[in-house]
Amino acid sequence: DRATIERVVAADPAVDAIVQLMTLQRGPRCIMVLMDVDFADQLDTADIERTVARLRADIQAAVPAARDIYLSARRRPDTVNPA
């Protein structure tokens, strides 16, 4: 299931990278997904909101047991400019 989630998210053109992915098996047919995603730089807030909604739907379609899905925006550590 984890590999499927990674494949679904990485295939989205609005995603530059998956920074971190954690899954938690909460029952026989219930998975919690916690993910930090580096979104494409040109996206504005509305684009990111639409992308998050699309990713949640795509993940649930590919992995029906993924019921609780939490996504947050975070840059990859190698792309952060030091102050």
What is the model's pTM?
0.86
Specify the pLDDT at position 28. 87
Query: How many angstroms separate the CA atoms of 68 and 53, rounded?
Result: 13
Q: What is the pLDDT of residue 81?
A: 52
CB 10 within 8 A of CB 62: no
Mean pLDDT of 16-40: 94
pLDDT at 65 over 80: yes
